[in-house]
Chain A
Amino acid sequence: MSGVQAPARPLQRTRSPMRTVGLWRTVGALLRKELLVELRTLESIPGMSLFAVTTFVVFHFALNRGSVEGDLASGILWVTLLFAAILGVNRLFVADADQGGFDAFLLAPVDRSAMFIAKALTLLAFLVVLELVAVPAFALLLLGTPLGPALPWLLVTLALGDLGVAVIGTLVAAMAVRTRARDLLGPLLALPLFVPIVIGGARAVAPLLVQSHVPAPAARWLLTLGLYDLVFGLIAYALFDFLLED
């Protein structure tokens, strides 16, 4: 052919050679990594569970009671779960901060929000396992009323509370981990933020743990928990990226 011909298609814009990996694939990969690490090292879950059971024993001696019910039982359960959760929160990002996990993640061509979702789901998983140990232990050691009838609504309330602890715990953990007093700041930041969870959770569970007929918890507490989860889930999701840049 004579002459110079225009190319058959216009030149394509140069794109980066790698496509960004999808969000959920990243979350899946991160989650798998977290759970594998936990299974191999067993850093958080045994500690949290042991702490919960030991705390129940301490409560027995502190309150000088063989069994508790109602408000007292609900309060003891929630406080213990919360403090055990804080142990998990403290450890959540420590490996990433100390061994360059943040940098590796930032270099990868992935959606950054994936780290928040993955870490929050990890913490949620830890909390579920914690409760699998702590709630039967509580029923065995301290609870004066039968657990069976209370169990369905108790699990619902715990699930809502766990969601809230997971999102706020992840955000606070990321904030605290790269400061100088990370073990101290984490709980200090987290505990006031957890107060609405305690309010909603303890008030909801208290009527379940009494001898008389077990009703469902009042809807307002479940709504409070749900609203908290929604609001802070969105906020933590939006703000998490700002903590990662460096």
Chain B
Amino acid sequence: MYGKGLRTLSIATAVALTASLSLVFFYAPLEAEQGFLQKIFYVHVPLAIIALCGFVLGGLLAIQHLRTRDPRWDMRSYVVIHMSLIFAVGTLITGSIWAKGSWGHWWVWSEPTLVSFLIIFLLYATYQPLRFAIEDPERQARYASVFAITAGAFVPMNFIAVRLSTAYLHPRVLGSTSNLPGPMALTFLISLLALSLLFATLCKYELTAKHTRAQLRALRRRLSGETSAPTRPRSAAPSLHHVTPRARAARGSAL
């Protein structure tokens, strides 16, 4: 059951997001240098952190898939990477807006976070085409997992390399996240928590939706009397071998 706990999670997300927005606009003090523009920090940086953790998490889930060969791990890895990619796009857009406000350019090469995210975005944008180019579902899942692990290891490596390359150019445009004064730190943490909950809720939502559709397909096949697996059209999404744990045990003993 993927949907269990979805309601609680959604409510928690809504509460946290409201709290975070209230804190950002009514509690956090104005920063000395950038003034009101700095408030973007509370949405841009959490998006960045969560996207990066999401990509690494996608790699870890892929490791589990390769170890257990259970397609549900591949499903989780796929959803997490998909969601992280969306959060990465959000990071790029909000970062670009911040750069435009601070420096007048929509893109700056001197901000290592933005540059790293561009590279990572370009890398993970190939995830879906890679999956789509492999028709056999088992092989698709396996190759996607290899990619997810490689890319997940690449994320920190890329950050180190890009940060090194920009360190000696200009000072950081968008300010660092260390030594935040108290109220700002609290606001930042609450925002981070809220967006993490949002990420988790959306992923769970997606997993539940996919699972529901898989159940519907299986039900449809049962009712129309087919017994063989139907031919699916080509798709980049992982296929759920829909077997409940009880049934799998039964199958195992029967075979």
* Complexed CA–CA distance, A221 and B168 (Å): 13
- Size class of the B contact interface (CB-based, 8 Å): 20 to 34
Known pairs A175-B147, A185-B126, A236-B150; A224 contacts B161 (CB<8 A): yes
Smallest beta-carbon distance A185→chain B, Å: 6
* Complexed CA–CA distance, A195 and B78 (Å): 24
A98 touches B (CB below 8 Å): no
Known pairs A193-B123, A232-B153; A224 contacts B145 (CB<8 A): no
**Which residues in A have their C-beta under 8 angstroms from that of B130?**
175-176, 179, 185, 189
Asked if residues A242 and B153 are in contact (CB atoms below 8 Å), the reply is no
* Complexed CA–CA distance, A246 and B142 (Å): 10
**Chain A residue nearest in CB terms to B146:** A239
**Which residues in B have their C-beta under 8 angstroms from that of A243?**
142-143, 146
* Complexed CA–CA distance, A195 and B116 (Å): 10
22-55 of chain B: CB within 8 A of chain A? none
* Complexed CA–CA distance, A245 and B17 (Å): 46
208-235 of chain A: CB within 8 A of chain B? 220-221, 224, 227-228, 231-232, 235
Asked if residues A199 and B161 are in contact (CB atoms below 8 Å), the reply is yes
Known pairs A171-B150, A178-B134; A203 contacts B165 (CB<8 A): yes
Asked if residues B126 and A189 are in contact (CB atoms below 8 Å), the reply is yes
Q: Is the interface of A mostly helix, strand, loop or mixed?
A: helix
Known pairs A192-B119, A239-B150; A175 contacts B143 (CB<8 A): yes
Cβ contact of A199, chosen from B135, B151, B154, B164, cutoff 8 A: B164
Q: Is the interface of B mostly helix, strand, loop or mixed?
A: helix
* Complexed CA–CA distance, A171 and B148 (Å): 13
Asked if residues B134 and A235 are in contact (CB atoms below 8 Å), the reply is no
A188 touches B (CB below 8 Å): yes
Known pairs A181-B133, A192-B119, A196-B157; A235 contacts B164 (CB<8 A): no
Known pairs A181-B133, A188-B129; A195 contacts B139 (CB<8 A): no
A180 touches B (CB below 8 Å): yes
**Which residues in A have their C-beta under 8 angstroms from that of B154?**
192-193, 232
Asked if residues B153 and A231 are in contact (CB atoms below 8 Å), the reply is yes
Known pairs A171-B150, A235-B150; A220 contacts B164 (CB<8 A): yes
Asked if residues B133 and A242 are in contact (CB atoms below 8 Å), the reply is no
* Complexed CA–CA distance, A188 and B149 (Å): 17
**Chain B residue nearest in CB terms to A196:** B161
Interface positions of B (Cβ within 8 A of A)? 66, 119-120, 122-123, 126, 129-130, 133-135, 139, 142-143, 145-147, 149-151, 153-154, 157-158, 160-162, 164-165
